[in-house]
Amino acid sequence: MSTIDDIVTGIIKREVGATVTNDPADGGGRTQYGISERSNPGAWADGRVTEEEARAIYEKKYVYGTKLNLIPDEHLRAQLVDYAVNSGPAVAISKLQAILGVVVDGVLGTRTLEALALRQPVDVNNKLVAARILMVCRIVQKVPSQLKFLVGWADRSLSFLK
């Protein structure tokens, strides 16, 4: 069974752990444990992010703050949290809502969860993988400087295919 701690551990691993990156093509600026300076300046106040800080941010901002912890299927939950980290919670939830055919508002609520309960989680999961890949391809089409990230984004998305 995939716990929230397991999900966060997977994200940290995909985000190259403690390595600090600062790619000029990455709009997030300096990043450590996947925590960008632009989105989380407080975590960077002392010039670095600890793993404990990163875990707390992931849980607060991307799991419980988004209510993604309420997704009953553990594999779909893990993908949605990863997608929220990679593209923003509203984007991940909006893509889920579009797949489910409910009002798209980027907020996980009762109607979205009810619609999800009527669907096969593996089908929703795989449609979400396809939506992620299509989204990153469109990003690269619009902003060609992001091409260098495409294979990594696609690999990350495909890792959730069932």
* 142 shares a domain with 96: yes
Strands (E), the chain: 31-32, 35-36
Distance of CA 23 to the CA centre of its chain: 19
- In this structure, the answer to whether residues 53 and 99 fall within a common structural domain is no
Q: What is the pTM of this model?
A: 0.94
What pLDDT does residue 1 have?
Answer: 57
How far is the C-alpha of 143 from the C-alpha of 103, rounded, in Å?
A: 29
DSSP per-residue letters across 48-70: S--HHHHHHHIIIIIIITTTGGG
Residue 127, both tokens? 């449609």
Q: Residue 147's domain spans which residues?
A: 66-162
pLDDT in tens, the chain (162 residues): 579 999 999 999 998 878 899 999 888 889 999 999 999 999 999 999 999 999 999 999 999 999 999 999 999 999 999 999 999 999 999 999 999 999 999 999 999 999 999 999 999 999 999 999 999 999 999 999 999 999 999 999 999 999
Q: Which of 58, 74, 97 is the last residue of a domain?
A: 58
Q: Going by C-beta distance under 8 Å and a sequence separation of 6 or more, which residues neighbour residue 107?
A: 90, 93
Q: In total, how many domains does the chain have?
A: 2
> Taking the chain, what is the end-to-end CA distance rounded to the nearest angstrom?
16
The number of beta carbons lying within 10 Å of the beta carbon of residue 123 is 11
Do 45 and 2 share a structural domain?
A: yes
Residues 72 and 104 in one domain: yes
Answer whether 60's CB lies under 8 Å from 69's CB: no
In the prediction, which pLDDT does 18 show? 83
- Do 8 and 25 have their domain in common? yes
- According to the model, what pLDDT value does residue 145 have? 93
Q: How much is the pLDDT for 10?
A: 95
For position 27, what pLDDT does the model report?
Answer: 84
| Helix, strand or coil, per DSSP, at residue 73 | coil
Q: Which of 58, 80, 98 is the last residue of a domain?
A: 58
